Amino acid sequence: MAGEPQNDCLFCKIVAREVPATIVRESETTLAFRDINPQAPTHVLVIPKAHHRDAAALAAAAPDVAADVLREAGAVAEDEKTADSGYRIVFNTGTGAGQTVWHAHAHVLGGRGLTWPPG
């Protein structure tokens, strides 16, 4: 069921502290931790603690939590001193867009020049 922890979900396991991660921020509804394979000097994932398969499903089921994820993504950029120079918030959605973990997550990327359009 949407929102309930999923036994086979890596990010639910990180929320439950069953899988270790370098956590940089936590709120009542969200967790932010460093990506294990960083693509930029700052590469942090911000996730809802509740399980939703992607950003759109999260926004449909729990719009307040979707807003929390965006607020925390901005706070990560501030913490990492990338807010002034610019940063990117990315939600890969679907296999063709590179989504590999089916628990909604915002990538916060910064600390280097970011080209547009992305690959």
- Tell me the closest approach of the beta carbon of residue 39 to ligand 5GP, in angstroms: 7
User: Contact 103/47 with Cβ under 8 angstroms?
Assistant: yes
User: Contact 105/91 with Cβ under 8 angstroms?
Assistant: yes
Residue 7 CB neighbours (<10 A): 6
78-117 residues in contact with ligand 5GP (CB under 6 A) are: 92, 98-101
Interaction partner, residue 21 (ligand 5GP, Zn ion, none; CB < 5-8 Å by kind): ligand 5GP
Q: Is 105 in the site for Zn ion (CB under 5 A)?
A: no
The answer to whether 43 is a known catalytic residue is no
Please enumerate in sequence order all residues whose Cβ is within 8 A of that of 22, keeping only pairs 6 or more positions apart, or say none: 33, 34
- Tell me the closest approach of the beta carbon of residue 101 to ligand 5GP, in angstroms: 4
Q: Is 6 in the site for ligand 5GP (CB under 6 A)?
A: no
Please enumerate in sequence order all residues whose Cβ is within 8 A of that of 47, keeping only pairs 6 or more positions apart, or say none: 11, 14, 15, 30, 31, 32, 69, 103, 104, 105, 106
Residues near ligand 5GP (CB under 6 A): 10, 19, 21, 33-37, 92, 98-101
**Which residues of the chain form contacts with Zn ion (CB under 5 A)?**
6, 9, 11-12, 51, 103
